């Protein structure tokens, strides 16, 4: 069986299967309406625009030959960005307005935040390295450098910036970033070592934080200097090719920069297509990005028809409609709607899973990586996979991979409406971590007819296991022992065990969650108020705590720990006695 190559997978999912419509935008293009007016002798066409429109006709012919819908726009004053947002490929002249790039870059910034991935080719006679730097700097965003300098309230730092650094930058002295250094900062945010060394040698600043701050301001100065549109409202991640001339990816746009020859344009369509494909391959999207792209292609191609209703016939649909319109509260109504939405989502998954073309494509993706590893892989598979994801190939990376693997297998972000079996949370004051092991049926806010439920309503008693910090060298090799919990907290990978040290029994505790399942005005998202019940002065007192809900164990994993807690409860009263030393 022929092995599909990585390059062909990228071309197939991001171009062949994704691009169905093309819009070409150039202020020198003649629109259809103007052509009609000219034929009716209502207006006279500019001869320069006639020549430019010949180029547009050539491009249109090429893309129509690939069965793509084509549109031409001159980017006039009433230009609608939302209209081209829905186009799969946008070919746009760099100087759209008065021979300046401002309008083009403004459009790019708007498209960047679109939900729809846009492939964009910037068509220009300008020097490519200039165009790349202007677009990348504008998309990255700028900061108010002077404000940040003044806000330090550090007189020595302010004087050093104004009298030494700024003067040197204006004169493009040795403290100004070189082009390749600016490119690296735009793409990685790494501060230039050469600049930090120069600042250190000046001897004015001695604290490393101050040196790093000035180095960052110098880098931001370089970005602002190249940005066509100075936007300090939001900083964005921008990546591109190492040389900074071919392609840029930021947000939901991928930009390929194409240099148009003044006279030769007969093969521009094919050249643009090839340039876009080469840029995408050089971008080197991960297998995950490739698969997500093809799933989106399958959905957008309308290859999925919702013919069946998961056995939910018209009577079932009518029944759910009745439940929703008769919901006795906004909360119950939302839950009923979520159930219907969940059913539709499950049907979508089943339809995707049954799509042979999509399943075959996903199989090809992993077969391609497997073949590449067997053919070209050096070292072990961990090293190969790390490098494919642009990660360091070392022991620390391998440990992080297995932490992430176990965390993804066993848990997901907390997105439930209320605490439930398997919810992982911590006390914001003591930093003690817990795992909820109460039965799920006891935690449904709208249920609970037991006497203690009625007495406590709207509060709810929950059963928890206390979690204890564990070491990486125990939690990873022994992951299958079903006693470890994997969490990322404050960008740190944490390992928890349900057992303290070498003990073999968990610690079970109880607390009361206040206003269970109810939104409390002013309360931070995923933060709950709760109380422990404690004996004080011969009375039961409430000890208040704030709980931050962190993540949710998946089905199966949650029940496993619930069973462990139940087994612990069952041993009460039948303990053995260990021999004392």
- Nearest Cα to Cα of residue 129 among 240, 263, 243: 243
pLDDT at res. 81: 77
Give me the count of residues in the chain: 581
pLDDT at res. 241: 95
- Per residue in 351-362, pLDDT (tens digit) is 888 889 999 999
Q: Which of 27-36, 268-277, 501-510 has the lowest mean pLDDT?
A: 27-36
Kindly state the tokens that stand for 447.
């249920």
77, pLDDT greater than 50: yes
46, pLDDT greater than 80: no
- Per residue in 149-177, pLDDT (tens digit) is 999 999 999 999 999 999 999 999 999 99
Q: Which of 70-79, 179-188, 304-313, 402-411 has the lowest mean pLDDT?
A: 304-313
Residues 187 and 398: their CA atoms lie apart, in Å, by 25
What top-level class would CATH report for the domain 18-141+241-284? alpha beta
> Checking DSSP bridges between strand 69-73 and strand 21-25, what pairing results, if any?
parallel
Section 286-294 average pLDDT: 93
Q: How confident is the model at residue 477 (pLDDT cuts 50, 70, 90)?
A: very high
pLDDT at res. 504: 82
pLDDT at res. 114: 77
Q: How confident is the model at residue 225 (pLDDT cuts 50, 70, 90)?
A: very high
pLDDT at res. 137: 96
pLDDT at res. 78: 61
SS3 350: helix
Residues 540 and 533: their CA atoms lie apart, in Å, by 6
User: What angle (nearest 5°) sits at the alpha carbon of residue 325, between those of residues 307 and 450?
Assistant: 105
How many CB atoms within 10 Å of residue 23?
20
The residues facing 22 across adjacent strands are 70, 89
- Per residue in 319-336, pLDDT (tens digit) is 888 989 998 888 788 888
48, pLDDT greater than 90: no
482, pLDDT greater than 90: no
> Checking DSSP bridges between strand 239-240 and strand 527-536, what pairing results, if any?
unpaired
Check residues 3 and 283 and name the one with the higher pLDDT. Answer: 283
312, pLDDT greater than 60: no
Judge contact between 325 and 251, C-beta under 8 A. Answer: no
- Per residue in 409-459, pLDDT (tens digit) is 999 988 777 888 999 999 999 989 999 998 877 777 767 667 777 787 788
- Nearest Cα to Cα of residue 487 among 436, 425, 558, 428: 425
- Nearest Cα to Cα of residue 27 among 93, 120, 122, 102: 93
Q: For the chain, which residues make up each domain, given as ranges?
A: 18-141+241-284, 145-226, 290-397, 409-570
Rounded to the nearest 10°, the torsion over CA 368, 374, 377, 378 is 170
Q: How confident is the model at residue 569 (pLDDT cuts 50, 70, 90)?
A: low
Q: How is residue 97 annotated by DSSP?
A: B
- Per residue in 334-343, pLDDT (tens digit) is 888 888 888 8
Q: How confident is the model at residue 309 (pLDDT cuts 50, 70, 90)?
A: very low
- Per residue in 1-45, pLDDT (tens digit) is 456 899 999 999 999 999 999 998 887 766 666 776 767 777 776
Share of the chain above pLDDT 90, in %: 54
Q: Which of 83-87, 308-312, 368-372, 536-540 has the lowest mean pLDDT?
A: 308-312
80, pLDDT greater than 80: no
pLDDT at res. 303: 56
383, pLDDT greater than 60: yes
Q: How confident is the model at residue 310 (pLDDT cuts 50, 70, 90)?
A: very low
Q: How many Cα neighbours within 13 Å face the side chain of 468?
A: 16
Residues 440 and 358: their CA atoms lie apart, in Å, by 36
| Whole-number average pLDDT of the chain | 87
65, pLDDT greater than 60: yes
pLDDT at res. 79: 66
């Amino acid at each position: 069986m022929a092995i599909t190559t990585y390059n062909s997978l990228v071309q197939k999912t991001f171009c062949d299967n994704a691009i169905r419509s093309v819009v070409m935008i150039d202020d020198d293009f003649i629109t259809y309406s103007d052509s009609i007016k000219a034929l009716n002798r209502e207006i006279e066409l500019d001869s320069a625009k006639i020549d430019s429109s010949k180029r547009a006709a050539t491009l249109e012919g090429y893309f129509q030959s690939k069965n793509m819908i084509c549109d031409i726009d001159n980017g006039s004053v009433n230009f609608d960005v939302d209209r081209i947002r829905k186009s799969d490929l946008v070919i746009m002249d760099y100087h759209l307005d008065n021979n300046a790039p401002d309008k083009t870059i403004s459009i790019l910034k708007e498209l960047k935040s679109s939900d729809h991935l846009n492939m964009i080719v910037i068509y220009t006679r300008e020097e490519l390295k200039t165009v790349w730097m202007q677009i990348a700097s504008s998309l990255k965003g700028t900061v108010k450098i002077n404000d940040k300098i003044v806000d330090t309230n550090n007189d020595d730092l302010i004087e050093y910036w104004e009298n030494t650094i700024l003067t040197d930058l204006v004169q493009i002295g040795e403290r100004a970033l070189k082009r390749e250094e600016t490119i690296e900062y735009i793409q990685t945010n790494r501060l230039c070592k050469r600049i930090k060394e120069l600042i250190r040698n000046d001897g004015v600043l001695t604290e490393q934080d101050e040196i790093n701050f000035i180095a960052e301001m110098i880098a931001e100065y370089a970005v602002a200097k190249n940005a066509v549109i100075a936007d300090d409202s939001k900083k964005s991640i921008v990546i591109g090719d190492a040389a900074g001339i071919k392609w840029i990816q930021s947000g939901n746009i991928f930009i390929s920069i194409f240099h148009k020859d003044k006279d030769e344009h007969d093969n521009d369509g094919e050249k643009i297509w090839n340039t876009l494909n080469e840029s995408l391959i050089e971008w080197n999207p991960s297998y995950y990005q490739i698969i997500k792209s093809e799933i989106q292609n399958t959905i957008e191609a309308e290859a999925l028809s919702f013919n069946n209703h998961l056995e939910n016939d018209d009577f079932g649909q009518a029944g759910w409609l009745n439940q929703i319109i008769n919901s006795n509260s906004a909360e119950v109504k939302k839950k009923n709607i979520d159930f219907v939405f969940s059913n539709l989502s499950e049907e979508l998954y089943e339809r995707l899973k049954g799509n042979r073309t999509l399943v075959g494509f996903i199989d090809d993706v992993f077969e391609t990586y497997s073949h590449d590893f067997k053919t070209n892989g050096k070292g072990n598979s961990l090293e190969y996979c790390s490098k494919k994801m642009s990660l360091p190939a070392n022991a620390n990376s391998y440990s992080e991979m297995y932490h992430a693997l176990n965390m993804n297998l066993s848990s997901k972000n907390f997105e439930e409406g209320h605490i439930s079996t398997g919810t992982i949370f911590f006390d914001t004051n003591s930093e003690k971590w817990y795992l909820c092991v109460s039965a799920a049926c006891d935690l449904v806010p709208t249920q609970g007819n037991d006497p203690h439920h009625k007495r406590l309503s709207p509060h709810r008693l929950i059963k928890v296991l206390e979690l204890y910090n564990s070491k990486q060298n125990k939690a990873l090799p022994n992951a299958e022992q079903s006693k470890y919990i994997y969490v990322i907290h404050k960008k740190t990978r944490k390992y928890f065990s349900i057992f303290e040290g070498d003990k073999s029994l968990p610690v079970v505790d109880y607390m009361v969650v206040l206003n269970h399942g109810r939104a409390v005005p002013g309360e931070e998202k995923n933060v709950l108020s709760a109380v422990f019940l404690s004996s004080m002065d011969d009375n039961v007192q409430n000890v208040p705590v704030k709980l931050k809900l962190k993540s949710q164990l998946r089905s199966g994993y949650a029940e496993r720990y619930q069973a462990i807690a139940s087994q612990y409860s069952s041993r009460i009263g039948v303990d053995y006695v260990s021999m004392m030393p």
